[in-house]
């Protein structure tokens, strides 16, 4: 700019416009810029020096902008509300919404679970948990149907073999509750295999259980046997010594309950055990390994030996009556035996192994899950996480043991030493790392996967009694088992 023009401009008198009496909003040219209001005419621009008013002129009248008082009052009210909320939060710990959870159990009475629920609710007063002991009959069907109609439980118990048939109602375990690494460090391999689908786990186990060998130590002593069997070779050697018949060849005392279906509890579990021990597979029943397993099972009841027969009582009752020396069964059957005959000299050891082969047994245990239809899944998983803590599990076992001779074997690996020498559960713990699962488990009352496959195995065993060969009987069973696998979308390897 030219300096002369600049000097002339500076020497010109400043023109003062008459004051405006409206607040005019100046629109911003950019939508994100704040709107600027022109200063009211009663506020002097500090950049323009004000001329003193003439002496005979009355002082200017200033218009009051009342909007600022409303803004100040509003800000004060908001500040007061926030202050009250902060103070209330500090002194009350915050207000949490009450959550109600329904828990379906199966085997434990309410007086066993309720102390654990009470302890959790004391620490979490906003959570209310209602425990219901359900009947096992049609339980699985009720669980699925009611869950899908939003009338089911938030938390429920299910069998380790049920995942394929109830997966539509199972909620995956959230990583913020327990991540996969922690799960795998906490629980056994069989838990990991049974409960994992894809990248997620679908339950938290409170126990571990499976097949064991229960024997009558008095009957073994009478037969001159001081050491219990550890292998199938031992079984083959001991059973003839333990079997007693009358002069007509009728069984008085049997060495072991095996070979039939109608009077052998858990016959399908035992066949499954022999199948995996013999290198067989449930989806390959037409192969020699499966036929070999069936032959081993049947030979104990076949002539001429006849160490067990259809004329004998139910195997559990026979053991209670001391008419059979050895049975293979899940450990929990010892409870009914002890209740019926408290004086019986009963011992529990791992199932017999195949000489030279890795130890293996068949798992059968129950798991706690969360419904994917629950509106409070995170709170439900938090409660289940609490149930699997060391202190909670040990308290659960203590409560269970008040009502029966023993509780459930701990699902946690780090609690194994606590029960390793237990007279009832030591055998379970010794086998815990060797358990595998097959959907051949009796007494789950699933009316589905297990029961359907068991029926085909039962028919195969019974057909061999009528003279059908082992391989032919199992080839027929294979077709039925494959149909069941297809029904439940089970992919075999």
Tens digit of each residue's pLDDT (9 = 90 or more) over 212-262:
999 999 999 999 999 999 999 999 999 999 999 999 999 999 999 999 999
Q: Using alpha carbons, select from 159, 144, 255 the residue that is nearest to residue 209.
A: 159
The number of CA neighbours under 13 Å toward the Cβ of 487 is 13
Confidence label for 492 from pLDDT (cuts 50, 70 and 90): confident
47 or 75, higher pLDDT: 75
Q: State the DSSP code for 128.
A: E
Q: Which domain holds residue 112?
A: 99-209+365-435
Mean pLDDT of the chain: 87
Confidence label for 50 from pLDDT (cuts 50, 70 and 90): very low
Domain assignment present for residue 53? The answer is no
Q: Using alpha carbons, select from 142, 187, 149 the residue that is nearest to residue 166.
A: 142
Confidence label for 72 from pLDDT (cuts 50, 70 and 90): low
Phi, psi for 206 (deg, rounded to 5): -105, -5
Total domains in the fold of the chain: 2
The pLDDT value given to residue 97: 86
> Is the pLDDT score of 379 beyond 70?
yes
Whether residues 343 and 464 share a domain: the answer is: yes
Whether residues 223 and 340 share a domain: the answer is: yes
Q: Using alpha carbons, select from 2, 45, 454 the residue that is nearest to residue 262.
A: 454
> Is the pLDDT score of 268 beyond 60?
yes
Domain assignment present for residue 21? The answer is no
> Is the pLDDT score of 35 beyond 60?
no
**339-367 mean pLDDT:** 97
> Is the pLDDT score of 381 beyond 80?
yes
Q: State the DSSP code for 363.
A: B
> Is the pLDDT score of 489 beyond 50?
yes
The pLDDT value given to residue 75: 60
The pLDDT value given to residue 491: 84
Confidence label for 76 from pLDDT (cuts 50, 70 and 90): low
Rg (CA), the chain: 39
> Is the pLDDT score of 184 beyond 90?
yes
Whether residues 205 and 242 share a domain: the answer is: no
DSSP for 396-463 reads HHHHHHHHSS--PPBSBGGGHHHHTT-TTTHHHHHHGGGEE--S--TT---SSHHHHHHHHHHHHHHH
66 or 107, higher pLDDT: 107
pTM: 0.81
* 377-387 vs 110-123: helix crossing angle, rounded to 10: 110
Whether residues 226 and 350 share a domain: the answer is: yes
Whether residues 244 and 331 share a domain: the answer is: yes
Confidence label for 114 from pLDDT (cuts 50, 70 and 90): very high
The two structure tokens encoding residue 174:
């959230």
Distance CA 468, CA 291 (A): 12
Domain assignment present for residue 479? The answer is yes
Domain assignment present for residue 50? The answer is no
The two structure tokens encoding residue 301:
């009841």
Q: Using alpha carbons, select from 457, 454, 437 the residue that is nearest to residue 446.
A: 454
8 A C-beta contact, residue 294 and residue 287: no
**6-18 mean pLDDT:** 38
432: Cβ contacts below 8 Å, ≥ 6 apart: 188, 190, 208, 409, 413, 416
The pLDDT value given to residue 79: 64
Whether residues 225 and 341 share a domain: the answer is: yes
Q: What is the largest CA-CA distance in the chain?
A: 148
Q: How far is CA 144 from CA 166, 206, 446, 476, in A?
A: 7, 22, 11, 31
Whether residues 230 and 283 share a domain: the answer is: yes
Q: What proportion of the chain, given as a percentage, has pLDDT over 70?
A: 80
Q: CA torsion sign, 257 to 261 to 265 to 268?
A: positive
Distance CA 335, CA 438 (A): 24
96: Cβ contacts below 8 Å, ≥ 6 apart: 126
Q: Using alpha carbons, select from 474, 463, 483 the residue that is nearest to residue 287.
A: 474
Distance CA 130, CA 342 (A): 35
Whether residues 196 and 226 share a domain: the answer is: no
Whether residues 370 and 358 share a domain: the answer is: no
* CATH number of the domain encompassing residue 353: 3.40.190.10
Does residue 356 come out as left (phi exceeding 0), alpha (psi in the -120 to 50 range) or beta?
Answer: left
Domain assignment present for residue 419? The answer is yes
The pLDDT value given to residue 22: 36
243: Cβ contacts below 8 Å, ≥ 6 apart: 251, 253, 254, 255, 307
Whether residues 343 and 399 share a domain: the answer is: no
Distance CA 405, CA 259 (A): 30
**301-328 mean pLDDT:** 97
Distance CA 410, CA 119 (A): 20
> Is the pLDDT score of 442 beyond 60?
yes
Domain assignment present for residue 40? The answer is no
> Is the pLDDT score of 142 beyond 70?
yes
Q: State the DSSP code for 157.
A: E
Whether residues 384 and 466 share a domain: the answer is: no
Distance CA 139, CA 106 (A): 9
Whether residues 183 and 220 share a domain: the answer is: no
Sequence-separated contacts (24+) of 301-305 with Cβ below 8 Å: 301/258, 301/259, 301/260, 302/259, 305/240
Helix or strand run (H / E) with residue 37: strand 36-37
Distance CA 240, CA 362 (A): 26
DSSP strand pairing (211-216 vs 324-330): antiparallel
Distance CA 216, CA 382 (A): 44
* Helix, strand or coil, per DSSP, at residue 174: coil
The last residue of one of the domains, among 398, 414, 435, is: 435
Domain assignment present for residue 186? The answer is yes
DSSP strand pairing (155-159 vs 127-133): unpaired
Q: What proportion of the chain, given as a percentage, has pLDDT over 90?
A: 79
357 or 22, higher pLDDT: 357
Domain assignment present for residue 265? The answer is yes
Window from 19-28, 58-67, 73-82, 331-340 with minimum mean pLDDT: 19-28
The pLDDT value given to residue 96: 66
> Is the pLDDT score of 44 beyond 60?
no
């Amino acid at each position: 700019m030219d300096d002369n023009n600049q000097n002339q401009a500076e020497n010109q008198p400043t023109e003062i416009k008459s004051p405006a009496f409206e607040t005019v909003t100046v629109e911003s040219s950019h939508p994100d810029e704040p709107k600027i209001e022109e200063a009211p005419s009663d506020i002097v621009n500090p950049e323009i020096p004000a001329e003193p008013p003439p002496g005979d002129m009355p002082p200017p009248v200033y218009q009051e902008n009342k909007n600022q008082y409303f803004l100040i009052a509003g800000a004060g009210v908001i500040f007061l509300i926030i202050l009250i909320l902060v103070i209330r939060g500090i002194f009350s710990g915050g207000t949490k919404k009450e959550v109600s959870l329904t828990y379906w159990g199966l085997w434990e009475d309410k007086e066993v679970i309720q102390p654990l629920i009470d302890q959790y609710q004391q620490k979490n007063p906003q959570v209310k948990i209602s425990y219901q002991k359900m009947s096992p009959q049609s339980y699985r069907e009720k669980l699925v149907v009611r869950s899908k109609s939003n009338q089911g439980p938030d938390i429920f118990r299910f069998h380790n073999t049920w995942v394929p048939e109830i997966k539509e109602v199972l909620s995956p375990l959230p990583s913020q509750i327990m991540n996969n690494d922690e799960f795998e460090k906490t629980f056994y391999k069989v838990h990991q295999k049974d409960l994992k689908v894809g990248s997620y786990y679908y339950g938290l186990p409170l126990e571990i259980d499976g097949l064991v060998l229960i024997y009558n130590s008095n009957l073994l002593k009478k037969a001159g046997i001081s050491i219990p069997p550890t292998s199938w070779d031992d079984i083959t050697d001991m059973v003839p010594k333990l079997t007693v018949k009358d002069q007509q060849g009728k069984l008085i005392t049997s060495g072991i309950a095996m070979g039939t279906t109608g009077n052998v509890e858990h016959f399908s579990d035992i066949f499954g055990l022999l199948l995996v021990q013999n290198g067989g597979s449930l989806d390959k029943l037409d192969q020699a390994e499966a036929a070999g397993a069936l032959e081993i099972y049947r030979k104990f009841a076949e002539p001429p030996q006849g160490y067990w027969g259809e004329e004998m009582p139910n195997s559990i009752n026979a053991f209670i009556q001391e008419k059979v020396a050895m049975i293979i069964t899940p450990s929990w059957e010892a409870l009914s035996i002890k209740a019926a005959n408290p004086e019986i000299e009963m011992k529990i050891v791992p199932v017999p192994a195949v000489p030279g082969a890795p130890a293996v047994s068949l798992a059968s245990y129950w798991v706690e899950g969360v419904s994917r239809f629950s509106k409070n899944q995170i709170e439900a998983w938090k409660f289940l996480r609490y149930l699997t803590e060391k202190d909670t599990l040990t308290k659960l076992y203590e409560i269970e043991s008040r009502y029966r001779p023993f509780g459930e074997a701990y699902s946690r690996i780090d609690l194994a030493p606590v029960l390793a020498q237990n007279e009832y559960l030591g055998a379970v713990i010794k086998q815990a790392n060797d358990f595998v699962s097959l959907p051949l488990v009796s007494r789950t009352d699933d009316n589905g996967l297990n029961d359907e496959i068991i029926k085909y195995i039962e028919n195969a065993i019974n057909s061999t009694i009528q003279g059908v060969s082992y391989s032919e009987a199992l080839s027929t069973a294979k077709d039925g088992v494959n149909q069941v696998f297809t029904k439940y979308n089970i992919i075999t390897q």
